Structure 1
Amino acid sequence: MAVRKEGAATEKVLILSDGKPGHVNQSLAYARLLGKPYEVRRVSFRGRWGKALSYPLDRLGFLTDKLFFVEDELPFCSQVVSAGSSTYYANRVIGTKLGIPSVAIMLPRSYRRNFALIIAQEHDRPPAAANILSLPVNLSCPQPQGLVQRTGRNPCVALVIGGPSRHFRMNEERLKVQIEQVFRLFPEGDFLVTTSPRTPPEIDKLIETLAFRYRVIYSREPVNPIADFLAIGDYVFVTQDSTSMISEAVTFGRACVEVLPLESTGEKNKVGRMLSPLADQGCLHVFDGTLGGKNHKIALKGVLEQALRRLGY
């Protein structure tokens, strides 16, 4: 595990990646919210045995870099941050080796919880501890790309369509009825829409038949205009399936947020536990054919900075 030699002090954050965008994006958001430079390194265990051994070794306090690979040499950095079970052991080993704080995003189950800081989501029901920051949302830091601009003075109404999961079914007819209700609520609206990597083909076809000024079908055009929607929209409608999309909507921009409910598969899920407190705080409204006018935003930057000051970092 080679470390790049640099003499000057740095505030650079080392981000460990397991290759999963949902995990890496939260680590990127951490660095961006704090305004710190960062470098990303991919880490992976040396086979299944590496991960299996990491649990008992961590509990015993035995830290070794022989269990995992790091892509490229490590930069000179001030802290190491990661999300995902395949990164936590490496996070702790590297932090200890370099003598810098280790930050874990999401609750590191099956590992010791003595990281410098753990940023957990309330819907995961983390225990109370001085080093655990419990948030009502995922970490996010949307960055508009200029993919779409606002036109005219009519209400700008954006829809963000996810897809089915083990927790939710996405029914074409139900979604069509919901979208038509939205259209009727804004007779002069300027309508934008994007689908996502999980959106099924029949929903893509439905979206193509409806009157949107700007339309992204992700399966054919893999761009992400969500941050732009949040920056210019008056209302943003987000399907219920994605905690990450909902988190972005309630932490950035000025749009009122409506969540389009989906049919539950019956599996217990954390989305319901996430939505209720956000609705109580005025961050969103679960769409019922009427508009809630809820646009309170959670200031993640300030929450993070306060937590780090409290811990002496």
Structure 2
Amino acid sequence: MEKVLIISDGKPGHVNQARALCSIMGWECIEAVAEYRLKAFKAAGYLLDSVRLHSSLPFTLTFSSSGERAEAENMPAGITRIAAVSSGAYYPAKVLANRLGVEVIALMLPRGIRKSDFSHIFCPSYDNPPRAENITPVPITLCSRGESFYAQKAGEFTEKTGMKGPSASVIIGGENAYGRIEPEKIRGQLEKIFEKTPNLEHWLTTSRRTSRKVEKTAASFPFDYKLIFSESRYNPIPAFIGMSEYIFVTSDSSSMISECVSTGSAKVEVLKNEPKRKSKFDRFLAELQAEGCVHIFDGTLGDADRKINLEEKIRSVLED
């Protein structure tokens, strides 16, 4: 079994993409988090990359499991490649790969850094990536870790909560550069959800980006199960995906939406945030809507339950 080092910024939506890649390929993975010592050092790393210099001075790298510094000298034996995900991970991955003599796979689209050094890049098509032999556009971000993973999480959820479904599950994110969630708008959306799904259990989870005002609004509804992220860090989303008849998910997170349309049998309803400006998320949702993977919730229920399985495409590229 190949042993792969995952380098990320530690954000769940990013590291889960690399975990999904390793799951698809049957690779063992070890995880490390990259951090730049100062904000300006990130730009310095990109400058060093432009002249093909590899230096670890701008950043630190720590193993996720132990918190120990991750250096070429103390890497576990048998690392065969590196998977890098997030803008802060690409240059550190190149530096370490150069010292270990292994290749680097990038997830998402590296910007401001030379792309030709990566053995392969898997990035969302809505990022409009350039055409290159080592770039494969994909319609969603990598996320699914296989049916057995979701079945296991569903079983753990039922044991933990007593909930058995089927459910109408609500996943609420938060504000980003492109849109925001208004408490009164989410209140109206939740009222419609309860009205349209009277015979289902109702489950809720918020996320680390959900504002306290939105959390308070959502928590005021009579959910059979609710997780408020500011109070608990348990992640019920895999169970929601495996057990829901409908999933309602806010439009701010491509990784959350990607996970909802990659596995399970739920019909996926997108709760549109208040837009700040047109963005790549509009292209992302338009493509998924055209494929029958999502329905934009307008007070009525759709039947968008088509799932996208990236496993065959990923394997065909990496096993070629």
State the TM-score bracket (shorter-chain normalisation).
Answer: 0.7 to 0.9
RMSD over aligned Cα atoms: 2.0
1:209–1:52 CA distance, 2 compared to 1 (3 A): closer
Scaled by the length of structure 1, the TM-score of the pair is 0.88
Moved more, 218-227 or 16-25: 16-25
Q: 1:7 matched to which residue of 2? A: none
Q: How does 1:1-313 map to 2 (within 5 A)?
A: 10-45=1-36, 47-48=38-39, 50-70=41-61, 71-72=69-70, 73-75=74-76, 76-114=78-116, 115-141=118-144, 143-144=149-150, 145=153, 146-148=156-158, 151=164, 155-265=166-276, 267-310=277-320
Whether contact under 8 Å (2:172, 2:205) holds in the other structure is: yes
- Cα distance, 1:160 vs structure 2: 0.7
Q: Distance in 2 between matches of 1:197 and 1:56?
A: 32
Moved more, 242-251 or 81-90: 81-90
Whether contact under 8 Å (1:82, 1:91) holds in the other structure is: yes
Q: Distance in 2 between matches of 1:231 and 1:255?
A: 8
- Cα distance, 1:46 vs structure 2: 5.1
Whether contact under 8 Å (1:150, 1:232) holds in the other structure is: no
Q: Distance in 2 between matches of 1:195 and 1:48?
A: 29
- 1:42-78 CA-to-partner distances (Å, cap 9, x unmatched) read 3334545643333233223333445443323222211
Alignment-mate amino acid for residue 17 of structure 1: S
- Cα distance, 1:20 vs structure 2: 3.1
Q: Distance in 1 between matches of 2:266 and 2:163?
A: 13
1:164–1:50 CA distance, 2 compared to 1 (3 A): closer
Alignment-mate amino acid for residue 216 of structure 1: L
Which residues of structure 1 form unaligned runs of 5+? Answer: 1-9
Q: 1:5 matched to which residue of 2? A: none
Q: 2:64 matched to which residue of 1? A: none
Whether contact under 8 Å (1:231, 1:253) holds in the other structure is: yes
Q: Distance in 2 between matches of 1:281 and 1:104?
A: 26
**Aligned sequence identity (%):** 37
1:191–1:78 CA distance, 2 compared to 1 (3 A): same
Q: Distance in 1 between matches of 2:52 and 2:214?
A: 50
Scaled by the length of structure 2, the TM-score of the pair is 0.86
Whether contact under 8 Å (1:150, 1:156) holds in the other structure is: no
- 1:240-279 CA-to-partner distances (Å, cap 9, x unmatched) read 11111111101121111010112112x3322111001111
**How many aligned positions are there?**
298
Alignment-mate amino acid for residue 309 of structure 2: A
Moved more, 187-196 or 140-149: 140-149
Whether contact under 8 Å (2:36, 2:88) holds in the other structure is: yes
Task: Give the secondary-structure state (helix, strand or coil) at the position aligned to 1:234.
Answer: strand
Q: Distance in 1 between matches of 2:273 and 2:50?
A: 41
Whether contact under 8 Å (2:241, 2:247) holds in the other structure is: yes
Moved more, 24-33 or 99-108: 24-33
